[in-house]
Amino acid sequence: MVETATTTTITRTTSSAAPNSHAAPSATPSPTAAQAQRNDETTRLIYNLKIIAFLCLLPFVLFAVFLKHLLDYLFALGQKEKDVSGKVALVTGGGSGLGREICLELARRGCKVAVVDVNSKGCYETVELLSKIPRCMAKAYKNDVSSPRELQLMAVKVEKELGPVEILVNNASLMPMTSTPNLKSDEIDTILQLNLGSYIMTTKEFLPKMITRKSGHLVAINALAGLVPLPGAGIYTATKYGIMGFMESLRAELRLSDCDYVRTTVANAYLMKTSGDLPLLSDAGISKSYPGLSTPYVAAKIVKGVLLNERMIYVPKIFALSVWLFRLLPTKWQDFMLLHFYNFDVRSSHLFYWK
């Protein structure tokens, strides 16, 4: 009897322990999960070591890049401007300022020029100036490039009257020096649609035909505000950063699609003397830090870069190095340098005051 009772007790104990083992599974990961975790850690370690190795080699890389650009600048090694005579160039915002000067530069190189601007008076004034250039053919197109419908109709008209667009220069933009809290919703929409939306829509309109012809060049006139933020013009700065992102993404897409025979260029230009915003920017001390450039000078540099198929143009060139070094600084140092360059004080605080 005793033996039987003991056996029964052992059986009950075993059977009651079984459910507990299922209810509380072991916290130790399975061999497969542990191996996967070790693999991930090894991969991350290798990546970190590559970054450290790159940083160690960085001074040599920078020296090589500097030497290349110096040689290109001094001797223009193997660089020859492509022939665009007889090609159609369409310039948005061509009725005044930088857009007008770009039209003149392209016309001097033999391009047929489609001058596009919402200001019809400015358009015809530009065409009149172009008519003084020997053998230049130019037409004015009053158009709001932020309107998809108007853009489509204009594209058909340009191709019918001048021919297929070979060079598209997106230049039209607004530069309101108003802080974001002081902008109305419809004003923000207008800036976004013109400064960024029109660049996207014109590209979408003309690029497919360039790909079909296996020839073309897309040019985006950007600003240094697309590389370094401009306090007091947050929405404007956002559109310029957007242009950079869009054009760089587009360039990669064209290459991956085996369509990189269509070239892309982003021109990052400093403030110009003819800009209507210069008095306001002068209040912030920007002009004092680095005087504005003349539009003919900027236009000549941009067009030359386009004809050399440069992916990125900086006017002036020294700002390319300045921007790169600026991004390497810690955040607080960046803020200090930024505010020091713009020389913001109590008089100019209204440009970005949020309180």
309-314 long-range contacts, Cβ below 8 Å, gap at least 24?
309/82, 309/217, 309/263, 309/265, 310/265, 311/251, 311/264, 311/265, 311/266, 312/265, 312/266, 312/268, 313/265, 313/266, 313/267, 313/268, 314/224, 314/268
Tell me if 35 is assigned to some domain.
no
Q: For tokens 């933009």, name the residue.
A: 173
Provide the residue range defining the domain that includes 203: 80-345
Tell me if 51 is assigned to some domain.
no
- Active-site hit among 199, 236, 314, 342: 236
CATH of the domain at 208: 3.40.50.720
Pairing outcome for strands 262-269 and 165-170: unpaired
What band does 12 get if pLDDT is binned at 50, 70 and 90? very low
Tell me if 4 is assigned to some domain.
no
> Is residue 236 among the annotated active site residues?
yes
Tell me if 92 is assigned to some domain.
yes
Report the number of distinct structural domains present in the chain. Answer: 1
Alpha helices, DSSP H, located in the chain: 2-23, 31-75, 97-108, 120-130, 148-161, 185-192, 198-213, 234-256, 278-283, 286-289, 295-307, 318-328, 331-342
Q: Quick: pLDDT tens for 24-46.
A: 455 566 778 888 888 888 888 99
Q: Quick: pLDDT tens for 136-161.
A: 999 999 999 988 899 999 999 999 99
Residue 67 has pLDDT above 50, yes or no: yes
Q: What is the pLDDT of residue 86?
A: 93
Residue 85 has pLDDT above 50, yes or no: yes
Residue 343 has pLDDT above 50, yes or no: yes
Tell me if 257 is assigned to some domain.
yes
Tell me if 59 is assigned to some domain.
no
What band does 317 get if pLDDT is binned at 50, 70 and 90? confident
Read off the pTM.
0.77
To the nearest whole percent, how much of the chain has pLDDT over 70? 80
Tell me if 10 is assigned to some domain.
no
Tell me if 149 is assigned to some domain.
yes
Q: What is the per-residue DSSP string for 169-199?
A: EE---------GGGS-HHHHHHHHIIIIIHH
What band does 78 get if pLDDT is binned at 50, 70 and 90? low
The CA distance from 144 to 153, in Å, is 11
Q: What is the pLDDT of residue 189?
A: 93
